[in-house]
């Protein structure tokens, strides 16, 4: 049966699909190399449970940097050592390592190296530079902040009540959803215009192709 390892935080982490057995192998292999005993125990428990998914949220947030680094360091050597003759095991493991490496490169210098106070300090600097609260909260979400943490951040940044802060967070999520939808529509429109231009002959014919 299939299983998924989700790379990242937020509402849309990147899924890597595999068999349950392969997911268990990933978790047990990483558990054998991490230094944090609590992280190792959690990974082994997840592997033994036979669940069909694993999220970064399955462990403590401050354990994620070690989880990610160990995955990058040990999974490919272990796969080559144990399953080097298998036709797809190593390449498929490489796909997971590539996803994790990409995530680490994009986010490690921000949320994973911030504490909560550092995140607030960064948000204050963004607001002072002219960013909107919607933009600040969107950034916090993409770096792994959950709704409750965003509400607390708004309270600290604006001196608002809990109810007022929650309204701001809900509004900002709707704003982010609208912006994403608009960007998708714009991309689709641009693609349609490019196709129309090509079909109408405004694009130069490819080399070697005769005239109609």
**pLDDT tens digit string along 16-55?**
999 999 999 999 999 999 999 999 999 999 999 888 899 9
More confident site: 23 or 205: 23
Rounded to an integer, what distance in angstroms lies between the CA atom of residue 98 and that of residue 93? Answer: 9
Q: Is residue 140 part of a domain?
A: yes
Domain with 98 in it: 2-111
Q: Which helix (H) or strand (E) holds 177?
A: helix 162-199
pLDDT of the residue at 211: 46
Q: Which residues are paired to 3 by β-bridges?
A: 18
pLDDT of the residue at 17: 95
Rounded to an integer, what distance in angstroms lies between the CA atom of residue 199 and that of residue 212? Answer: 12
pLDDT of the residue at 115: 61
Alpha carbon 205 to its chain centroid, in Å, reads 40
Alpha carbon 28 to its chain centroid, in Å, reads 22
Whether residue 71 contacts residue 30, with contact meaning beta carbons closer than 8 Å, is answered with yes
> 99 and 129, same structural domain?
no
> 142 and 62, same structural domain?
no
**pLDDT tens digit string along 82-103?**
999 999 999 999 999 999 998 8
> 56 and 22, same structural domain?
yes
> 100 and 6, same structural domain?
yes
- Reduced to 3 states (helix: H, G, I; strand: E, B; else coil), residue 110 is coil
Q: Domain tally for the chain?
A: 2
pLDDT of the residue at 212: 43
- Neighbouring C-beta atoms of residue 160, cutoff 10 Å: 15
Q: Is residue 49 part of a domain?
A: yes
Global confidence as pTM: 0.55
pLDDT of the residue at 47: 93
Helix orientation angle between 20-31 and 37-49, rounded to the nearest 10 degrees: 160
Q: Which residues are paired to 2 by β-bridges?
A: 19
Mean pLDDT across 191-209: 65
pLDDT of the residue at 75: 95
């Amino acid at each position: 049966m299939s299983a998924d390892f989700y790379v990242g935080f937020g509402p849309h982490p990147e899924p890597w699909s595999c068999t349950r057995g392969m997911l268990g192998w990933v978790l047990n292999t990483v558990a054998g190399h991490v230094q944090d005993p609590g992280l190792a125990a959690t990974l082994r428990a997840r592997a033994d449970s036979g669940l069909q998914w694993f999220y970064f949220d399955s462990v403590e947030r401050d354990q994620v940097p070690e989880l990610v680094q160990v995955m990058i360091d040990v999974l490919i050597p272990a796969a080559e050592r144990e399953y080097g003759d298998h036709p797809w095991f190593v390449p498929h493991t490489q796909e997971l390592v590539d996803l994790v490496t990409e995530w680490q490169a994009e986010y490690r210098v921000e949320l994973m190296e911030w504490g909560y106070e550092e995140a607030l300090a960064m948000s204050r600097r963004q607001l002072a530079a002219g960013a909107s609260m919607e933009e600040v909260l969107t950034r916090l979400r993409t770096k792994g902040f959950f709704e409750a943490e965003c509400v607390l951040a708004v309270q600290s940044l604006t001196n608002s009540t809990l109810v007022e802060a929650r309204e701001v967070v809900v509004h900002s999520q709707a704003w982010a959803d609208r912006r994403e939808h608009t960007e998708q529509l714009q991309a689709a429109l641009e693609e349609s215009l490019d196709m129309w231009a090509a079909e109408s002959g405004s694009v130069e014919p490819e080399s070697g192709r005769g005239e109609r």
